[in-house]
């Protein structure tokens, strides 16, 4: 059996079985000595009886072996080896909570719908699926297999059913290197935003860059996962929490830068106010000094004018006195 692919969006498991259906048909026995010691013949499939096997959980045609080109080997003792083959797609419920370290269990249910258990009964020779022709898949690893034969009962009819179970493990190396580890590293980069100084001008842009990177990884994960499934993957929850933390980090960085610039503005305002007050005090003192000097100068000028007037009056008064004296003597 070869695992072709697992479609996570449509939730189906595509496989190519390479198996044989041994049958015993008493009607096909003969004595080789009567037929030239012919012990093995290869008739065409339509010339002998074959059980019609249906696939219950298929997404396509239920009659798997309706083709007439599958090889058939008939031996003289009545043993028939029928080797049908086709590419089948079966539904498979995916559980992606542990993505990309998840394990999926897919089953193949084969039943002979036209025959009861009294007419046809499946018998397994081995509890495990033979992997002689198994080819490894690049994304999935086949961890375990099992084969069980059960009875299918429906409306009084009882048929034989064979169930093949495959335990598939995802190979996480590719996703681990390209998805998980970058996300973990980005989660540590969120903490470094608090080391960047507020006045550097790169604090907010750094936080927005990390936020956009996490958004991109979240979109990548959402494209890898099916649109509907049981449970939410832990990686998606982790990415969403990192996205919320990164958004809160950006908001916190904006508040820090705002408060830092607000403090700078208040400090500048206080410095400008203090400088203005000092300049006002100096101007007031200078004005007082100039006023005092002007007052002193005015007083000196007034005194000088008074002295000049007094001297002029004295000069004018002296000749008049002399004339009075002369008139008296004459």
Share of the chain above pLDDT 90, in %: 0
328 has pLDDT over 70:
no
Q: Rounded mean pLDDT of 49-58?
A: 76
Q: What is the pLDDT of residues 14-28, one digit of tens each?
A: 666 656 667 777 777
Contact at 8 Å (CB) between 19 and 1? yes
* Coil vs helix vs strand at 300: helix
320 has pLDDT over 60:
no
User: 285 versus 273: which is more confidently predicted?
Assistant: 285
Q: Which helix (H) or strand (E) holds 160?
A: strand 157-170
Q: Which long-range contacts (CB under 8 A, 24 or more apart) does 16-20 make?
A: 16/85, 16/86, 16/87, 16/88, 17/85, 17/86, 17/88, 18/83, 18/85, 18/133, 19/83, 19/84, 19/85, 19/130, 20/81, 20/82, 20/83
User: 68 versus 180: which is more confidently predicted?
Assistant: 180
User: 216 versus 301: which is more confidently predicted?
Assistant: 216
Q: Rounded mean pLDDT of 52-76?
A: 70
- For residue 19, whether the previous peptide bond is cis, meaning omega lies within 30 degrees of 0, is no
* Coil vs helix vs strand at 256: helix
Torsion 274-279-282-283 (CA) sign = negative
Q: Determine the pLDDT at residue 112.
A: 78
User: 113 versus 313: which is more confidently predicted?
Assistant: 113
Domains, the chain, ranges and CATH? 2-170 (2.70.170.10), 172-311 (1.20.58)
8 has pLDDT over 80:
no
Q: Determine the pLDDT at residue 274.
A: 75
**Which residues are bridge partners to 294 per DSSP?**
none
Both tokens of 191, joined, read: 């903490």
User: 324 versus 256: which is more confidently predicted?
Assistant: 256
329 has pLDDT over 50:
no
Q: Rounded mean pLDDT of 100-128?
A: 81
Query: What's the count of helices (H) and strands (E) in the chain, helices before strands?
Result: 4, 11
Lowest mean pLDDT among 103-107, 171-175, 245-249, 264-268: 264-268
Q: Determine the pLDDT at residue 126.
A: 78
Q: Determine the pLDDT at residue 249.
A: 85
Q: Rounded mean pLDDT of 173-200?
A: 82
* Coil vs helix vs strand at 7: strand
304 has pLDDT over 60:
yes
Q: Rounded mean pLDDT of 163-179?
A: 86
Q: Determine the pLDDT at residue 20.
A: 64
| 135 alpha-carbon distance from chain centroid | 32
* pTM across the whole model: 0.63
Q: Which long-range contacts (CB under 8 A, 24 or more apart) does 239-242 make?
A: 239/183, 239/214, 242/183, 242/186, 242/187, 242/190, 242/214
Q: Determine the pLDDT at residue 330.
A: 46
Lowest mean pLDDT among 106-120, 208-222, 300-314: 300-314
**Which residues are bridge partners to 8 per DSSP?**
none
> In whole angstroms, how far apart are CA 301 and each of 305, 310, 312?
6, 14, 17
Q: Determine the pLDDT at residue 326.
A: 43
Q: Rounded mean pLDDT of 48-64?
A: 70
Crossing angle for the helix pair 203-224 and 181-189, nearest 10 degrees?
Answer: 160
Mean pLDDT across the chain:
76
The model's confidence at residue 65, banded by pLDDT at 50, 70 and 90, is low
Locus of tokens 């936020």:
211
């Amino acid at each position: 059996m070869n695992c072709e692919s697992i479609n996570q969006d449509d939730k189906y498991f595509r496989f190519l079985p390479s198996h044989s259906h041994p049958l015993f048909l008493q009607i096909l026995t003969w004595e080789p000595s009567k037929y030239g010691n012919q012990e093995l013949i290869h008739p065409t499939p339509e010339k002998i009886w074959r059980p019609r096997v249906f696939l219950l959980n298929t997404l396509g045609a239920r009659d798997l072996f309706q083709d007439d080109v599958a090889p058939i080997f008939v031996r003289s003792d009545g043993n028939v080896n029928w080797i049908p083959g086709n590419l089948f797609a079966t539904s498979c419920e995916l559980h992606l909570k542990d993505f990309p370290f998840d394990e999926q269990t897919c089953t193949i249910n084969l039943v002979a719908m036209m025959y009861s258990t009294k007419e046809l009964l499946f018998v397994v020779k081995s509890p495990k699926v033979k992997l002689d022709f198994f080819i490894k898949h690049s994304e999935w690893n086949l961890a375990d297999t099992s084969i069980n034969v059960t009875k299918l009962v429906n409306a009084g009819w009882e048929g034989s059913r064979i169930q093949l179970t495959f335990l598939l493990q995802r190979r996480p190396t590719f996703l681990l290197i390209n998805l998980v580890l970058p996300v973990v590293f980005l989660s540590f980069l969120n903490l470094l935003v608090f080391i960047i100084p507020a006045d550097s001008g790169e604090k907010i842009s750094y936080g927005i860059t990390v936020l956009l990177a996490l958004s991109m990884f979240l979109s990548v994960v959402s494209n890898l996962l099916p649109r509907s499934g049981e449970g939410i993957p832990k990686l998606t929850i982790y990415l969403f929490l990192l996205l919320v933390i990164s958004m809160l980090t950006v908001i916190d960085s904006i508040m820090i830068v705002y408060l830092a610039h607000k403090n700078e503005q208040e400090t500048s305002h206080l410095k400008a106010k203090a400088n203005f007050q000092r300049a006002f005090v100096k101007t007031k003192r200078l004005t007082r000094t100039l006023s005092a000097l002007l007052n002193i100068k005015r007083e000196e000028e007034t005194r000088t004018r008074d002295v000049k007037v007094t001297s002029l009056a004295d000069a004018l008064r002296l000749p008049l006195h002399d004339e009075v004296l002369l008139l008296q003597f004459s």
